[in-house]
Amino acid sequence: MSDIKKRSVIMLLVDSLMHEPLQEAMKTGQAPAMKYLLDHGRYESEIVSPFPTMSVNVDSTLLTGVYCDRHKIPGLVWFNTEEKRIINYGSHIRELLKLGIKQSSQDIFYHLNQTHLSKQVKTIHEELDDKGIETCSINALLHRGNQDGYLHVPLLFSWISGLNQMVKLNVPKLFSYGGFSKINPHNRSLWKKFGFNDRFSVKELAHLIDLNKVPPLALVYFPDLDQHVHKHGRHDVKGVAKVDRHLQKILDRFSSWEEAVANHIWIVLGDNGQAWISQNKTEALIDLRGLLDAYQIVKLKDGVTANDQIVLAVNERMAFIYSLDTATLPLTKIAATLQKDARIDLISWKNDQGSIVVMSGKQAGELTFQSGGNMIDEYEQSWTLEGDVKLLDMTVNDNTITYGEYPDALARLHSSCFSHDGDFLIVSAKPGHEFIGEGSPTHIGGASHGALHKQDSLIPMIITGTTSTPKHNRLIDMKEWILNIVESGG
């Protein structure tokens, strides 16, 4: 493989990989594989993740190169106004059971990729396939491609979930999705989450390496670190060390690590960060049902009834709050109630003029903004601003906007407000806190994500084998960059 144009891009997407624990793991010798790739490449410590900082939205942006106002996956949990139901791609089994395991299974395994992800945008798999370039997706949540593929659903799970035993999908040429679709026929790593684990991902990629059949782009998802960080906190080094041991096994499939970096381009990338959560349960958890108990809130098991006023769609440290009748319950009234809780970092919504309004529970004031105008931010995006820019910790000098605690705040908030139909507020929690609804997961004394804050939003990237760079250090800019690398070989 001496011709540089034949080098494959191997992209390892590590859920909840963050700068500080990665640096500590490399410094203390607990991450020799990542240290090796870094020593033979380069490092970016602050790549900006989309908002909300939940994996399905993040992965959709990575694959399509657009924010959720265009790819239309608003978050892990959201309310579909057309179908009048809450869509949940897997927040917690308690919520899935209440919503109905059969409907939730359809959303997770079929609708997420096949119908909810907008057909108006193409994934990186689809674009490369259009050019006759083969790609691979291993265990990635978002994986839409041009080829026919199938999920092979075991009989018992088919009975429980209501899924057919054979579910036809549009996927990349090489497609792996836990025990439902394998590239390596001998992969038996199904004991944990039926193959949706790091060990399974490693064996799938190792199989392609052994056969010398790694395609021009292989996107491999490593899910396990996320749960480590949720439990042990955002500075969890042991979880990073465990990921690195898996990476060592991948590099060991080559005759040498030198051969691995000589013959392939490697990208190791996080998807979202996680913010710390207080050990004090009463302080940590922002119970939206308690704050809004003056109103009738939709119960998950019952669905929307005639008397309901509010729908809650909780995404850990972020939530969508929907008014079902803005004539009697305007968003401003709900916002005024929420503003009394200082743990709520930001409250935002789209007003009748199509502008975005921002308020806060921790400070007074209001900011209104819209796309277009004479103010330019650090990502070359133009805006019109009116009000208190300190609410988003922005600095404005000579019509130039610089971001602070909330990276790319304007575009990310704007995209979320336009991500789907409905009259809704967006709330984002201060670090130390997370929202709960009827059956939400909690992470007391650990870490959580979803919010706009930089703790949730900044992720690291190791690049080995190319000197090219994305236009900006944001996940939204990765697709175009990867396309260029794959097509040029570096």
For residues 58 and 195, membership in a common domain is answered with yes
Sign of the CA dihedral running 171, 110, 72, 274:
negative
For residues 322 and 308, membership in a common domain is answered with yes
Question: What is the predicted pLDDT for the residue at 456?
Answer: 98
Residue carrying the six token digits 């749960």: 227
For residues 58 and 162, membership in a common domain is answered with yes
295-305 residues labelled b (16+ CB within 10 A) or e (exposed):
bebbebeeebe
| Strand 166-171 versus strand 77-80 pairing type | unpaired
Question: What is the predicted pLDDT for the residue at 189?
Answer: 67
Three-class secondary structure of residue 128 per DSSP: helix
Contact 377, 412 (CB under 8 A): no
Question: What is the predicted pLDDT for the residue at 258?
Answer: 97
Position 84 in a domain: no
HSE-CB of 274 using CA atoms within 13 angstroms: 30
Q: For the beta carbon of residue 320, count every other beta carbon within 10 angstroms.
A: 24
Q: Which domain holds residue 250?
A: 4-73+117-277+452-488
Helical residues (DSSP H) of 339-386, grouped into ranges: none
For residues 397 and 380, membership in a common domain is answered with yes
SS3 content of the chain, % helix, strand, coil (to 5): 35, 25, 40
For residues 51 and 175, membership in a common domain is answered with yes
Averages of pLDDT over runs of 10 residues in the chain (490 residues) are 65 98 98 98 97 98 98 98 96 91 94 98 98 97 97 89 93 95 85 84 96 97 96 96 98 97 97 97 97 96 95 98 96 97 98 96 95 97 97 96 98 98 98 95 96 98 95 98 91
Residue carrying the six token digits 């939206």: 288
CATH code: domain of residue 19: 3.40.720.10
For residues 129 and 196, membership in a common domain is answered with yes
Position 236 in a domain: yes
Contact 210, 186 (CB under 8 A): no
For residues 315 and 416, membership in a common domain is answered with yes
What's the total number of domains in the chain?
A: 2
Sign of the CA dihedral running 221, 478, 54, 181:
negative
Position 112 in a domain: no
For residues 313 and 457, membership in a common domain is answered with no
Peptide bond into 52 cis (omega under 30): yes
Question: What is the predicted pLDDT for the residue at 191?
Answer: 66
For residues 427 and 464, membership in a common domain is answered with no
Instruction: Provide the 8-state DSSP code for 468.
Output: -
Position 238 in a domain: yes
For residues 137 and 256, membership in a common domain is answered with yes
